[in-house]
Structures are given as C-alpha cells and as structure tokens.
Amino acid sequence: MLEFAEKILREIRKLQQDSEAIVLNGTISDMERYRFMMGRLEGIKLTEALIKQELDKRSKDDF
C-alpha cells in the first residue's frame, strides 16, 4: 500500500511541476487558460494533501 501511495505522490508532484512550468513560462495565451491551469494546480495540491492525510492516519493506526 505504501509503495502505491508513494508512486501516486511522485506522479502528482511531477504533474504539479509540469503545470507550474507552463504557468511560469508565460506560454498561456489567454485568461481562460490561466484560470484553468490555476484550478488544476489547486486540485493537484488538494489531492496531494488528502493522500498525505490518509497516509498519516494509517501510520498512526499502525502504532
């Protein structure tokens, strides 16, 4: 289970880095696309936080 979660977290972080690079490089053509990318980043951050929260709960339950 832990290996699976770690793999998912690595993929989430890569997706976040790629999305941040798009925003920071200035390659976004209009405000609609910018809003989309910012929403995407917020969703990625929320997903990462929820996975970490579940892992913390499980590790505390194991002790």
Q: What is the pLDDT of residues 16-31, one digit of tens each?
A: 999 999 999 988 999 9
pLDDT band per the 50, 70, 90 thresholds, residue 51: very high
pLDDT at 20: 94
Q: Residue range 7-11: average pLDDT?
A: 94
Spell out the domain ranges in the chain: 2-62
pLDDT band per the 50, 70, 90 thresholds, residue 5: confident
pLDDT at 44: 96
**Is 80 exceeded by the pLDDT of residue 37?**
yes
DSSP secondary structure of 20-57: HHHHHTT---SHHHHHHHHHHHHHHHHHHHHHHHHHHH
